[in-house]
Every structure is written in structure tokens, then in C-alpha cells.
Amino acid sequence: MSTYPISDMLTRIRNALTAEHSVLEMPSSKMKHQIARVLTEEKFIRGYKIVETPSKKRKLYLFLRYNRLNKPVIKGLRVISKPSRRHYVGLDSIPRVRNGLGVAILSTSKGILTDKQARMLRVGGEVICHVW
């Protein structure tokens, strides 16, 4: 059992990309579902699916994306906010990841958003992770 499920999710993605898996299975939660939604919208993964198992638990399936040379589209993932140290930012200090080539995923009062969406909606929040 992981103490921080978001970190566990990103580690599973990183490991699956290293092993060149096309589908990744993990326990589901609302936060993981929203992060998967953002990753799909930003074209880092092909998509996701939530399936309920016979034991009434939900599984989240991520369909990973690779380019023509079979290299992963996601080059890197970094957890920013951790249970031991949360990282909150205001509107003026929302980070740009890799000079705009990457995405910062934030948990805001408007839901889970990318850095660009948060700037457009003029909200700050907790920086969950960076993806590039």
C-alpha cells in the first residue's frame, strides 16, 4: 500500500514506459481519474478507461502513447507536492515546465487543471506534478 497514491501512479507510468507496455492497470480514485483526463487532453497518453471489478473495486487502465520510433511521448514525470511538503502557488507564480513544452498539473478550486488552464481561469492551487 502506497502512502501517496499520486506518486505511486506516476511511478507506475514511468516504469510501464521503461518496459514499453501499451496498457497500464492501477487502482482508481477521483484524483487519478482527473490526472488521466488531463494527460489525455494534453496528448501524453492515448486514453484511459475505468472498469469496475467483481469485488466492487474500480481499476483505472491507461493506454500509453509512443511515437513512430517506439519512444515514449512522456519524457519525464516529477512529483512536486508530497504529503510531507505541499507546494501551493498563487496566480503569479504558476510554473512553466520546460519553457512551455511540458505541463504542470494543479489541483485548484476549479478542479484538476494544467498550468495554462489555471492561468486562463486566473486561479492558483497545489502543484501536483510536472510532465514533459
Domain chopping of the chain, boundaries: 5-131
Q: Does this model's pTM top 0.85?
A: yes
Integer angstrom CA distances of residue 49 from 46, 61, 121: 11, 5, 28
Fill in the DSSP letter of residue 98: G
pLDDT in 10s for each residue of the chain, 132 residues:
568 999 999 999 999 999 999 999 999 999 999 999 999 999 999 999 999 999 989 999 999 999 999 999 999 999 999 999 999 999 999 999 999 999 999 999 999 999 999 999 999 999 999 999
The reply to whether CATH 3.30.1490.10 applies to domain 5-131 is: yes
Nearest of 75, 65, 131, 78 to residue 103 by alpha carbon: 131
Nearest of 126, 41, 21 to residue 79 by alpha carbon: 126
